Amino acid sequence: MKRIIIVLALGLLMGVGCGAPPARTQSITGPVVRMPKSYRFDPPTLQVKVGDTVTWINEDNFTHNVHFLSGTDWKSPSLRPGSQTSFTFTQPGEYRYQCDFHAQMMKGAIIVVP
Ligand SMILES: [Cu+2]
């Protein structure tokens, strides 16, 4: 009996860790940057093409945002856990960004190529 409970618990843990993304993320077709636990952008640097729409998804337990420091000064609203934001890149270049709430830990860059 004890073994069965352990197997069930493992299954639950794995289900939580590797579960399917929320339904609303299924409509995303462009590149994605995730904010997994805890305090990071994944991947931290992403190369995309001009015209691509990048979507950031907050999968962490904390509120974050996306604020560009170069290339554009666009800033997302505060992203509560489970929410997402998107930005379309219309010019090539290097776009560095941070989360304003955790600027020391959360930095990222989007490299936009023609
Ligand atoms: Cu943050």
Sign of the alpha-carbon dihedral angle for 105, 106, 107, 111: positive
Domain extents in the chain: 24-113
- Across 11-78, the runs of DSSP E, i.e. the strands, are 32-35, 45-49, 53-58, 67-68
Cα 101 to Cα 14, 44, 55, 64, 65, distances in angstroms:
30, 17, 19, 6, 7
Percent of the chain with pLDDT over 90: 75
In this structure, whether the domain defined by 24-113 belongs to CATH 2.60.40.420 is answered with yes
| Ligand 1 centroid – CA 53 distance (Å) | 21
Residue 28 confidence class, pLDDT cut points 50, 70, 90: confident
List own/partner pairs for 60-63 with CB under 8 A and 24 or more apart.
60/35, 60/36, 61/37, 62/38, 62/101, 62/102, 63/101
pTM of the model: 0.77
| Residue 22 pLDDT level (bands cut at 50, 70, 90) | low
Mean of the pLDDT values across residues 61-76?
Answer: 98
**Residue 62, both tokens:** 């904390």
**Region of poorest pLDDT, from 7-21, 31-45, 71-85:** 7-21
pLDDT number for residue 2: 52
User: What is the whole-number distance in angstroms between the Cα of residue 63 and the centre of ligand 1?
Assistant: 6
CA of 41 to the centre of ligand 1 (A): 9
Q: What is the pLDDT of residue 24?
A: 53
Cα(7)–Cα(4) distance, integer angstroms: 5
Q: Is 17 helix (H, G, I), strand (E, B) or coil?
A: helix
Region 49-76: mean pLDDT is: 98
